[in-house]
Structure 1
Amino acid sequence: QFYTPYTLVELILNDKLPIKDETNHNVKILDPACGSGIFLVESYKRLIRRWKNKNPKKIITFKELNDILVANIFGIEIDPLAIKVTAFSLYLALVEHLNPKKLWIDKTNKFPYLIDNPKDASIKGKEGKNLWCRDTIGEVNPDDFEKVNLVVGNPPFGTKKLSKSIMDYCVKYNFGKEMVLPFLHKSVDFCPDGNIALIFNAKVLTNTEKPFQNFRKWLLNENYVEKVYNLSIFRKIPKNFGGQLFTSAVGPICIAYFQKNPPQKTSDTIEYWAPKTYVKSNLIDGVLIDSTDIKFLPRIECQLPDTKIWKIAMWGNIADFHLISKLSKIHSNVKSFIKERKMSFGVGLQPLNKSTIKPIVDNDISNLKFIRPERISKYFTPDTSFSDINSAIKDKETIAEYLKYYKKNNIFDLPQINVFRRLGKKEVYKGPMLLVKEGFKDNEFCASLVNTSVAYNSTVLGIHSEQLEDLRILSSMLNSKLAAYYLLMISSSWGIERERIKPNEVYTLPLQFSEPDFKDLVSLHEQIEDTININPLIIRDANNEKNIEKIILRSFHLSQRDICLIEDFLCQSIDIFYKKEKSIAFHRVSADENMIYAKMLHQELNDFYSEANHKVNITVYDVQRHDPLNLVVLHFCNTEKSIDVKPTNELSSLLKELDKYSIQEKGKNLYVQK
């Protein structure tokens, strides 16, 4: 059982079961995996509040409390202990609204039987109809269950230890083998004409495997999705930041709001929350979401099962989506380049671990040197960074497996290891080669040319070719800012769960260069290698790296706006991800930066109105360090003027006052900056 924090419960119920000015207290609510019942208890309390809104001068009676509960609150839970906790919590919620003296005097007040559990002999003949102790996916036929108006909850999710009923369901509908998917899919059968708001694993939105695409196709094409909250970034919020959203788990979560049939008034967009970070404010105690992280995505694009928009919109905007789409349409990419050049490629070895079934003995690999991922440098790594093959074993579990295999008591007594869990293609350990790390260091992607044969582990992708020029071209491209931008934007894992780039994502990176560019890139790469070979202590050649960047940006014919998008993402968004509230993105805007922004805005707007009689003039303010908001004033007039810059003396107090009104509470400790 995982406890669902009140913040998320309130966020969902504020959206789907609001209290203010609401009087309808006959709303049938189901939690298909109710656990200890927090969603049902809070829903019940809200229905009572609605009854009181409708009857402000009346005192609610036991019968009315009983009727609201029995008629509207439903749950299914496989754990018999958890469902008893749910029933008890609902009884306590009922009692809260009674006069304690009258409660004990009136002997006719009896709690309703709520639980139906065929395996519990103690309630035989007294079964209720509200709380079913069953396997929702394998044992409950929705046709046997009362249809509800609202489904809410936090179903279990994960890809390990799946029950047979979950596996069978996923296979039947050709969905990804993820625990939560059957709950989302089956919810529409319980609620064919109502609303659904369920928490699920954020990876479901970005997983590129076909079965997960099948699920997204069903969700977004056979239902009407109103909005999606992607709260992945909150998985590790410190407790002094208003508390973790999930105190017992750090999985990335989303909330999907959808319904089987479209409403009378539909929208061409889907509201999408995708916060980049969490920010402290001296005005509130909790997590503050910036309004720029709330997007409205084109529904028609979201309905494509292979779209990248869910990930791109986490870190960029619609302009980033169009740029990534344009780059993705380039015919040549890393994969096609590798195949055309007949290169060998594959990830490295895996040492023994507990899951090893058939150890692989190989003396050829055993005799190779080994390079650890952290020793791989950008562009070029000399063989002085190599170590012996035994450096492949590092963590306690791996060491224990090798000590057991070789029957030794101490790691220093181990021979040169010659047994592994997996090896992959042996030809990819042959030099010369390009080594590509899956992780990021200092906000940069890393690919490195290595001249001699060496072994490496499975977190590294190796590409072997006898043609050094081809490897240098790939290295130049993979180490570029454009590569970092593209790969981080499309990665299904980075920024969601694990900060890594998978090989199948690296293969999609577009390549585009002319013959002169090819020769120039090779030459610059050779100069970097010479610099490092002459002085191994110099691991970077800033001048030649800068020239490589210029050639790559030029070869893709990127506009100044495109380059700005790339720079903004790499310098601001990634910095926000790693440094959070200490990021440069939260530093004061300088007067020069304000002016640059104003000039771009001035040009864009006046170009837009070029065929009309309107002119747009702009005033910017020299904001100071403690000003909470920036301000740009647009003047629509007939005569175009230069940009005006004014001090903020007269506005500082007003900006602080406006800041108070720009914050909207969405749930306990969760706010949105309008």
Structure 2
Amino acid sequence: MGELLNGIFECLDINSSTGLATEDSLQGMTSFQRLFYTQVHEKIGIDAVYFLRDENGIAKIPLIYFSAIQKYDAKQVAELHRLSWNLGEAPLLFVVTPDEILIYNNYETPQVVENGNLDPNAGIIETLNLTNGLASQRLALKKYHRSLLESGEYWRQSMTRFDVQSRVDSTLMSNLRIMRRTLINQISKRCDTSKETITGVVHALLNRSIFIKYLEERKDSNGETVFPQDFYCNFMKSAKQYTDVLNSKEATYNLFRTLKEKFNGDTLQVSEIEAEIITQDDLNELRTFILGDSELESKQLTLWPLYSFDIIPIQLISSIYELFFHLSEEDDEKGTYYTPLHLVNLVMDEVYPWEGEYKDTSFFDPSCGSGVFLVEAYRRLVCRWMSQNDVHTINCDQLNLLLKNSIFGVDINEEAIRVASFSLSLAMCDFLDPRSIWDKLSFPRLLDNNLISSDFFDEDKSFNNRRYDVIIGNPPWQSNITGKTKEYLKKANSVIGDKQIAQAFSIKCSELCKQNGIICLLMPSKGLLFNRSDKSRAYRANLFSDNNVLAIINLSVYRKFLFDHASGPAAAIIYTPKKEDINQPIVYCTPKPIYTIEDIRKFSIDPTDICRIPRDIIDDDRIWKIAMWGAPRDLELIGKMQSTFAPMASFIEENHMTTAEGFKRGNRKHQCCDFKGLPMVEAKSFKPYYVSSDELPRVDFDDFECIVKNAREIFVAPHLIIKQSHKNGTFLSEVLDYDAVFNHSLLGIHGNINKLKYLSVIIGSKVFSYYHILTNRKWLVERDELEAGDIWQTPIPSPNEAEINEACEIFDELVISPTKNGKAEQFVRHMYRLREYESYQIDDVIDYVYDYFKNKQRSVSFERPNPNAYKLYYDSLSEVLTNTFGASTGLTGDLYFGDAPLSVLVLNIGQQNDRGLNFAKSDDRLNEILMSLDGAVVDNQKMIFIRRNLRIYQPNRIFIIKPSQRKYWTYSAACRDADEIFEDISRAWR
């Protein structure tokens, strides 16, 4: 079987250097690989795991499990799929027999057939017959080739196959949510106890049940379990499992007390109120749920019998607990709020990666919740200790010592602190064999020592007396500060914007961190990067001046993939109190989803998503938004527009115009009959440029909150009405020659009709949209609308009389044919004095950046380029390089493209001819070149399909390797690449 597996690995082009972990490669594995492989090998029977590597070549994300069995056995194969599904990591499972390869989808829920057995066909993707040998299936295996997995092309081609809703984390959370609600409602009907108390009792009961199931199901390779033989008989005669004991309340709570005494610690306590209000009916409900005998609200049998809590990752269980603290009655039916594990890993990798020297390190989470960051820190700390001491096992005493000396946290929620302690206890168990857990393990008492229930800003608590090496966490995001927070800010003479308590956390964390320590916090990106109130600007200025900010990871574009119920998009900021290397630029990274199943497991970071912000421009509010979606040339163009043309507010003032938002009905406390019978323009049926009075409804109400007393002229003709939200990336406005009213979602300008028409032509242009995509703090961050202040700050060219007349003619044509806007675009670009290359920049932002944001996976950005796109890229790149280095450079190009996920442009230097670009469409030749280049990158680490967008320099040639997607072969991409090539060559010449 080993020979057959090796043959499959060869077909897929995977080996130990490209992320494959097998028993033979243990010594060369990373700490994470070794820990993960050992666990899946022992718990599931997996023979090999293929990991996706990151941009540095480090194996990070499990993609495929391989298990070789001597012959096909339906029960064994179905069980392999069930256990792989429980692990919730690698999406693919290859079960290999001498006669066939069965390929499974590990995100698809296992199924039970009528006879009670698992269905071996559940989750099956395909079966490859090996009757004629492995060579006969090479073509079929090609779709799982390393190049397609590393480049992400496999996931794009299989977009509909993998459903996140059937993954173990989604189903388990859904089941627990329903069981939670069932028990809370059942108890509430008979008890006068507060809902908060009942909820806490139910959470404790469910948590304890998960822990017992974990202990019950933990087995070693010899089948030994945690509990001694006949353990449950101590509580109920003939009881063999936890569900048997649940038939008696007395037996159940005797079991709870025994476990509490056995394991000590502070996580298994049963409160008096729980023992009082839980009845046998509640335990019966819990029992039927665990056994799968009850029907859920969806009318499907519970999946609990399919779960194996010894397989489900401890971090996932900790994250599930976090769900409980954020779940309100309204949220019960919806998604979940918890810190996703790949986000935890992303930020932990920045401050404490798996690989590294072990030394005493203290970790602190200022808002630890269920302890998901602390659990991950503890796992990495233990693995570093084991690696440093060259051991593969660790004893209970050492685990306790590392935990007590290194892991600290605080949370205002006492229940959360208990669960954090519980989560850390489970993490300890995962490093021990089952018998050691029972015979030797005693959990440390963490409450009031390492883990403290307190307001983070309570200066009297003991956690303030320490200084920590690593501070990491996800503080609250509310715009609501506590009394203790106010006291702290006043005493510290610190300012925060918009009452963002997370900003207050970031200030105090600097005080609690050692001078050579590091801090990483997840924060709302709006307040951290984009809000422009005076206090927000002051907070940012102080943060950058008082600390050494190393990096900011702007996760705004991933908003919908992270926190279903978050109030806004997120960013991670990494900084240290020690002011060293303050001249070094700040690394600013904005990952962008690729809209495949990968987005729930990893952050896609392209080289173009990373830039280095010089310290001398960090006070420029524009930089964070422009660098999020644009390039250095966009910063230049925006700067040119702002420095050359005055804002619209000045144009309005100079021309004695009146502006305001429309009326607001709101609380409807004010009576006003002035508008009765007037035409009313509505945002939902807004028509661009002009709408006749006959097409509008009339005002038939007289109750308002705001009636625009001081700027009533906005309702008087002639007036320009602007819709603050866009339609397909274009902002709409209309100029009316009759009186009409509108509500506060529309803006009004009263003034000279010809100048209003001029403004309308500007507002409807791509230039206007381009400017706001790259400068507006909300659009393409959170909301799809502009605020009045943003519109008034738009740079507007000052027209002469001839230009006003031309604008009026264009406007009148647009009234008749609103979609025929070519002349209008040309006019606006002339007014802004745009050069041809600047027009290309604007078109690229609208055609690719906006289209990507709007259409997501259906965006033209992901389409394959046609020859014209490749040629535009080459011509633009050549022109910039020739202008930079001189005509004597002599550039020609060879473009290799085909069905592969990457295309290759070879720039030939020093060839004095007019050949230009030569196209070579050949799959075989392209693959030959890619494989050759793959071995030439980074010491033969074969990284080309991971890094994807890269360049390789040879004496007379430059290889440009990029994904075969249109967004990589645009004019703007060519300019960026040309600028970077110039920098690379200049650096080499120094």
Q: Find 1:173's aligned residue among 494, 499, 509.
A: 494
Q: Equivalences for 1:94-243 in 2 at 5 Å?
A: 94-106=428-440, 110-116=442-448, 128=449, 130-139=450-459, 144-159=464-479, 161-166=480-485, 173-176=494-497, 177-193=499-515, 194-204=517-527, 205-236=529-560
Q: Find 2:345's aligned residue among 4, 10, 13.
A: 10
| Counterpart-to-counterpart distance in 1, 2:567 and 2:621 | 26
| Counterpart-to-counterpart distance in 1, 2:767 and 2:697 | 32
Letter in 2 for 1:79: N
Q: Deviations over 1:640-667 (max 9, x none)?
A: 55313131314332477559743279xx
Secondary structure of the residue aligned to 1:229 is strand
Q: Which residue of 2 aligns with 1:436?
A: 722
Letter in 2 for 1:496: V
Q: Which residue of 1 aligns with 2:875?
A: 599
CA shift in 2, pair 1:480/1:642, >3 Å: same
Secondary structure of the residue aligned to 1:639 is coil
Secondary structure of the residue aligned to 2:876 is helix
Conserved 8 A contact 1:435-1:461: yes
- Is 1:617 the equivalent of 2:940? no
The structural deviation recorded for 1:525 is 1.7
- Is 1:48 the equivalent of 2:376? no
Paired residues in the alignment total: 598
Q: Which residue of 1 aligns with 2:394?
A: 60
Q: Which residue of 2 aligns with 1:646?
A: 919
Conserved 8 A contact 2:496-2:539: yes
The structural deviation recorded for 1:635 is 2.1
| Counterpart-to-counterpart distance in 2, 1:28 and 1:285 | 28
| Counterpart-to-counterpart distance in 2, 1:449 and 1:642 | 53
Letter in 1 for 2:383: R
Secondary structure of the residue aligned to 1:71 is helix
CA shift in 2, pair 1:267/1:132, >3 Å: same
Q: Find 1:419's aligned residue among 703, 708, 722.
A: 703
Letter in 2 for 1:6: L
Secondary structure of the residue aligned to 2:572 is strand
Q: Find 1:255's aligned residue among 572, 575, 587.
A: 572
- Is 1:361 the equivalent of 2:653? no
| Counterpart-to-counterpart distance in 2, 1:32 and 1:616 | 59
The structural deviation recorded for 1:250 is 6.3
The structural deviation recorded for 1:59 is 3.8
Secondary structure of the residue aligned to 1:422 is coil
Q: Which residue of 1 aligns with 2:586?
A: 270
Secondary structure of the residue aligned to 2:675 is helix
Conserved 8 A contact 2:892-2:916: yes
Which stretch of structure 1 is more off in the superposition, 86-95 or 70-79? 86-95
Letter in 2 for 1:68: L
Q: Find 1:246's aligned residue among 545, 563, 567.
A: 563
The structural deviation recorded for 1:44 is 0.6
CA shift in 2, pair 1:81/1:282, >3 Å: closer
The structural deviation recorded for 1:38 is 0.3
The structural deviation recorded for 1:249 is 3.1
Conserved 8 A contact 2:472-2:521: yes
| Counterpart-to-counterpart distance in 1, 2:571 and 2:928 | 36
Over the aligned positions, Cα root-mean-square deviation in angstroms equals: 2.7
Q: Deviations over 1:441-465 (max 9, x none)?
A: 0221112112222221211111112
Q: Equivalences for 1:520-531 in 2 at 5 Å?
A: 520-529=806-815, 531=816
The structural deviation recorded for 1:336 is 0.5
Letter in 2 for 1:195: I
Letter in 1 for 2:830: R
Letter in 2 for 1:113: R
- Unaligned regions of 5+ residues in structure 2, if any? 1-325, 327-336, 935-941, 949-961, 969-990
CA shift in 2, pair 1:622/1:57, >3 Å: closer
| Counterpart-to-counterpart distance in 2, 1:76 and 1:114 | 11
Letter in 2 for 1:260: P
Letter in 2 for 1:365: F
| Counterpart-to-counterpart distance in 1, 2:663 and 2:601 | 48
- Is 1:375 the equivalent of 2:678? no
CA shift in 2, pair 1:153/1:664, >3 Å: farther
The structural deviation recorded for 1:439 is 0.7
TM-score (norm 1): 0.83
| Counterpart-to-counterpart distance in 2, 1:564 and 1:430 | 40
Q: Find 2:604's aligned residue among 273, 277, 288.
A: 288
Secondary structure of the residue aligned to 1:157 is coil
| Counterpart-to-counterpart distance in 2, 1:97 and 1:511 | 65
CA shift in 2, pair 1:385/1:174, >3 Å: farther
Conserved 8 A contact 1:277-1:577: no
Letter in 2 for 1:438: Q
Secondary structure of the residue aligned to 1:439 is strand
Q: Which residue of 1 aligns with 2:84?
A: none
| Counterpart-to-counterpart distance in 2, 1:284 and 1:68 | 32
Letter in 2 for 1:602: S
The structural deviation recorded for 1:8 is 0.6
| Counterpart-to-counterpart distance in 2, 1:447 and 1:167 | 45
Q: Which residue of 1 aligns with 2:269?
A: none
Q: Which residue of 2 aligns with 1:36?
A: 370
| Counterpart-to-counterpart distance in 2, 1:589 and 1:85 | 52
Q: Which residue of 1 aligns with 2:150?
A: none
| Counterpart-to-counterpart distance in 2, 1:607 and 1:639 | 16
Conserved 8 A contact 1:628-1:655: no
Letter in 2 for 1:41: V
Secondary structure of the residue aligned to 1:115 is coil
The structural deviation recorded for 1:99 is 3.6
Q: Which residue of 2 aligns with 1:393?
A: none
Q: Which residue of 2 aligns with 1:26?
A: 360
Q: Deviations over 1:297-351 (max 9, x none)?
A: 223212x1x4211011111111111111111113422100111122111111222
The structural deviation recorded for 1:169 is 5.4
Q: Deviations over 1:36-65 (max 9, x none)?
A: 110001101110001100112374222211
Conserved 8 A contact 2:555-2:590: yes
Secondary structure of the residue aligned to 2:424 is helix
Conserved 8 A contact 1:315-1:573: yes
The structural deviation recorded for 1:636 is 2.5
- Unaligned regions of 5+ residues in structure 1, if any? 117-127, 237-243, 390-415, 532-537, 666-671
CA shift in 2, pair 1:655/1:146, >3 Å: farther
Which stretch of structure 1 is more off in the superposition, 276-285 or 340-349? 276-285
TM-score (norm 2): 0.57
The structural deviation recorded for 1:622 is 5.6
Letter in 1 for 2:680: F
The structural deviation recorded for 1:388 is 2.7
Higher Cα Rg: structure 1 or 2?
2
Secondary structure of the residue aligned to 1:498 is coil
- Is 1:332 the equivalent of 2:646? yes
| Counterpart-to-counterpart distance in 2, 1:384 and 1:339 | 32
| Counterpart-to-counterpart distance in 2, 1:202 and 1:226 | 16
CA shift in 2, pair 1:485/1:450, >3 Å: same
Conserved 8 A contact 1:44-1:69: yes
Q: Deviations over 1:56-113 (max 9, x none)?
A: 237422221111111111101000000000011111212222343244334xx53322
Secondary structure of the residue aligned to 1:69 is helix
Conserved 8 A contact 1:375-1:385: no
Letter in 2 for 1:12: V
Query: Between the two proteins, what is the percent identity of the paired residues?
Result: 26
- Is 1:505 the equivalent of 2:790? yes
Letter in 1 for 2:787: K
- Is 1:662 the equivalent of 2:945? yes
Q: Which residue of 2 aligns with 1:345?
A: 659
Q: Which residue of 2 aligns with 1:492?
A: 777
CA shift in 2, pair 1:165/1:431, >3 Å: farther
